[in-house]
Amino acid sequence: MPAGLEPKTKIRPKDNHLLAALPAEVFDRLLPDLKPVGMPLGKVIYEPGVELGHVYFPTPGCIISMLYVMADGASAEIAVVGDEGMVGIALFMGGDTTPSRALVQSAGQALELPGHALKREFERHTGLQHLLLRYTQALITQMSQTAVCNRHHSVDQQLCRWLLLSLDRLATNELTMTQELIANMLGVRREGVTEAAGKLQALGLIHYSRGRITVLDRPGLEARVCECYAVVKKEYDRLLSHAKNISSVPALISH
């Protein structure tokens, strides 16, 4: 693991919204199995078709991208997951593998949980079932809207959507991402990303230099983005707004 990306000795579980919303009794039973792990940029969490052994709950600043990979190696992003959720829903949805690749898009930290521990509690507690199924519905909405957006909207609208979804999961207005990686995420040619980023920069909405994007005018991005961003955000807010049972959750997890 690269220097500077080692897990901190303590992580606040309430920084991940799903963990924060767990009923206290469920959290207490899962606590011994939760392990803080570093998430360096570019780390592959899952590969398509490989059996899943763990699920991951990102903490603020960490973003994991879910990519569909074609037979020829081409890929496109189908969803992003940050501190609002988790990666590895196949484990409680009845499958042990996933057709997508999970890749760290923004470096940070996450909490790792063995799949058997999650399944044990999922089968035991209806509150956990309802929470995770609401989250899954929100994630499916994001995947569906991404497919529609990629088919019907311009590359600069797609780039605005991608930037806003990323910003929602970061505590800063800066992203580290090359145009080539963005092109792979969006499933478009690099030249298209270069042109789209140039438009946004000329409008004063972003500044792009050497793989670093700084958002200068978020309201401007929101005015330019297609309706897909608002649909996804509204659905997450609707489904998870009542998942706020954080009383009695321990403040810290010791490494």
- Per-residue pLDDT, 194: 86
Q: Which of 13-22, 24-33, 184-193, 242-251 has the highest mean pLDDT?
A: 24-33
179 compared with 144, residue with greater pLDDT: 144
Instruction: Please answer whether residues 181 and 231 qualify as being in contact, where contact means their C-beta atoms are separated by less than 8 angstroms.
Output: no
Q: Are 45 and 115 in contact (CB under 8 A)?
A: no
Q: Round the average pLDDT of the chain to a whole number and report it.
A: 85
CATH of 10-126, one of 1.10.580.10, 2.60.120.10, 3.40.50.450, 3.30.70.600: 2.60.120.10
Angle 151-173-147 from CA coordinates, rounded to 5°: 15
Q: How many residues does the chain have?
A: 255
Q: Read off the pLDDT of residues 32-47 as tens digits, 9 standing for 90 and up.
A: 999 999 999 889 999 9
The mean-pLDDT minimum among 100-109, 131-140, 179-188, 192-201 falls in 179-188
Q: Where in the chain is the domain with CATH 1.10.10.10?
A: 154-225
**Residue 239 reports pLDDT greater than 80:** no
Q: How confident is the model at residue 243 (pLDDT cuts 50, 70, 90)?
A: low
Closest residue by Cα to residue 119 from 127, 111, 129, 110: 129
Question: Residue 253: helix, strand or coil by DSSP?
Answer: strand
At residue 1, does pLDDT exceed 60? no
pLDDT of 7 strictly over 70: no
CATH assignment, 154-225: 1.10.10.10
**Domain span(s) for CATH 2.60.120.10 in the chain:** 10-126
Kindly report the pTM of this predicted structure.
Answer: 0.85
Higher local confidence (pLDDT), 2 or 73: 73
pLDDT digits (tens, 9 = 90+) for 116-140: 999 999 999 888 999 999 999 999 9
Average pLDDT over residues 107-119: 94
**DSSP at 71:** T
Say if CB 229 and CB 165 are below 8 A apart: yes
Percent of the chain at pLDDT exceeding 70: 90
Separation CA 40–CA 53 (nearest Å): 19
Per-residue confidence (pLDDT) for residue 255, from 0 to 100: 46
More confident: 71 or 124? 124
Q: Is the pLDDT of residue 59 over 90?
A: yes
pLDDT at 92 over 80: yes
In this predicted structure, the answer to whether residue 149 has a pLDDT above a threshold of 80 is yes
Q: How far is CA 189 from CA 79, 83, 178, in A?
A: 19, 30, 13
221 φ/ψ angles, rounded to the nearest 5 degrees: -65, -45
Is residue 180 within 8 Å of 190, Cβ to Cβ?
yes
Distance separating alpha carbons of residues 185 and 205, to the nearest angstrom: 21
CA distance 212 to 217: 16
- Where does the pLDDT of residue 248 fall: very low under 50, low under 70, confident under 90, or very high at 90 and above? very low
Among candidate residues 233, 166, 175, 237, the one with its CA nearest the CA of residue 207: 175
* 16-35 mean pLDDT: 91
Characterise 116 by phi-psi region: left (phi > 0), alpha (psi -120 to 50), beta (else). Answer: alpha
pLDDT over 70 (residue 244): no
The token pair that represents 131 in the structure block? 């929470």
Tell me phi and psi for residue 166, to 5 degrees: -70, -45
Report the percentage of the chain scoring pLDDT > 90.
Answer: 45
